[in-house]
Amino acid sequence: AQSVAQPEDQVNVAEGNPLTVKCTYSVSGNPYLFWYVQYPNRGLQFLLKYITGDNLVKGSYGFEAEFNKSQTSFHLKKPSALVSDSALYFCAVRDAGNTGKLIFGQGTTLQVKP
């Protein structure tokens, strides 16, 4: 069965420093991977996805993610964190049955301090 794991409940980083939010996946077949962000009392917003092609995927708000097949990872990164990036981040994988549904990790809270 498809699954993703986010090993860190919370990541703390100082404003201006680079940030990484980790995600590992387990899939049968080719992985279709996604990152979403959730601000308090809001729905999930799409950041970026990996389907095929370049291992470095660029997304919204300056975020990017690196797909690593050998390590089965899809870490979210940003070169310089902003306080406004503080939110809950979810990694997701598309279900193998190709119904389109996404299976989400448990989420990682990112706290960026001034």
Partner 1 sequence: EAGVAQSPRYKIIEKRQSVAFWCNPISGHATLYWYQQILGQGPKLLIQFQNNGVVDDSQLPKDRFSAERLKGVDSTLKIQPAKLEDSAVYLCASSSITGELFFGEGSRLTVL
Which positions touch partner 1 (CB under 8 A)? 32, 34, 36, 41-46, 49, 51, 90, 92, 94, 97, 99-107
Cβ nearer to partner 1, comparing 13 with 35: 35
Contacts 24+ apart (CB under 8 A), 3-8: 3/27, 3/93, 3/103, 4/33, 4/74, 4/91, 4/92, 4/93, 4/103, 4/104, 4/105, 5/105, 5/106, 6/89, 6/90, 6/91, 6/105, 6/106, 6/107, 6/108, 8/108
Rounded to a whole number of angstroms, the minimum distance from the CB of residue 75 to partner 1 is 17
Rounded to a whole number of angstroms, the minimum distance from the CB of residue 40 to partner 1 is 11
Cβ nearer to partner 1, comparing 8 with 15: 8
- Torsional sign, CA 44, 46, 49, 55: negative
Cβ nearer to partner 1, comparing 15 with 73: 73
Cβ nearer to partner 1, comparing 42 with 58: 42
Rounded to a whole number of angstroms, the minimum distance from the CB of residue 71 to partner 1 is 21
Rounded to a whole number of angstroms, the minimum distance from the CB of residue 16 to partner 1 is 29
